[in-house]
Amino acid sequence: MDFRQIRLFCFDMDGTIYLDRTPIPGAIELLNLLQERSIPFIYLTNNSSKSVKDYMKKLQEIGFPATEENFYTSGQAAGVYLTAHFPGVPCYVMGTDSLKSELKTYGVDVREEVSPEIGVFLAGYDTQLTYQKLTDACELLRRDVPFLATNPDWVCPMGKDEYLPDCGLMCQMLEVSTGKKPKFIGKPEPDMILQLLERFGVEKDACCMVGDRMYTDIASGLNAGVKTVCVLSGEVTKEEVLAAERQPDLLLDSVKDIYLALTDKQ
């Protein structure tokens, strides 16, 4: 792949450019290089536990170039989806305070208690999860309220060989309890990437999705028809990638290899 032909880079965050608060070697250098060359890049994440402002602060603190325009989260995508498909409908949100605040900026009527007027239920990666929220969710789903979820990730990487339960596992609990399956909004659905292509006016073959998970990051890129690069700095192993039915365009150790390719240092 000729990275010089790419006019829009989409980067997953957890496991791709950093682990917890530790940058992946070469990641900061790569993002600074793209900024210097005026090549658009987006931090594209399924992690809905934080708002864009939270992410911007975190990335700036650990040394990455970051403005609000550099981010697109599954929380934002959920806000767009709810506004388009459930305008004005009260939505019970099983998520963090940051996710609820993000959704409100899109005009979503966020609710935190069960009531008869609740018309849709949204599950996110809830690091503030309580048993009461799970109980509320089960009540709403048994009532056949539409079940949406920000992302299907099973775990969230926190460091070397350290993972926490993510939205996908929380949804599995609800599915086992109620028999209801959610419609996921974030990766691997193609919508987030397709919306970015339209925003930047970039053709599919000039966009590259870079991530560490085959079933979300790479799948979203393949579903959207853009270039895909899988890195081995996060969750997936080389063996898992090679055994997958659908292959990325390129498999690299880390994003440092992209930096080296763009600077002729490979």
DSSP string, the chain: --GGG-SEEEE--BTTTEETTEEPTTHHHHHHHHHHTT--EEEEE---SS-HHHHHHHHHHTT----GGGEEEHHHHHHHHHHHHSTT--EEEES-HHHHHHHHTTT--EESS--TT--EEEE---TT--HHHHHHHHHHHHTT--EEES---SEEEEETTEEEE-HHHHHHHHHHHHS---EE-STTSSHHHHHHHHHHT--GGGEEEEES-IIIIIHHHHHHT-EEEEESSSS--HHHHHH-SS--SEEES-THHHHHHHTT--
Q: Find the mean pLDDT for residues 141-146.
A: 97
What is the per-residue pLDDT across 186-240, written as a single tens digit (0 to 9) for each? 999 998 998 899 889 999 999 999 999 898 899 999 999 999 999 999 989 999 9
The reported pLDDT for the residue numbered 191 is 84
How does the average pLDDT of the chain come out, rounded? 93
pLDDT, position 160: 62
Of the chain, the percentage scoring pLDDT greater than 70 comes to 97
> Domains plus CATH for the chain?
3-46+204-262 (3.40.50.1000), 81-184 (3.40.50.1000)
Binned at pLDDT 50, 70 and 90, residue 266 comes out as: low
Q: What is the mean pLDDT of residues 119-137?
A: 97
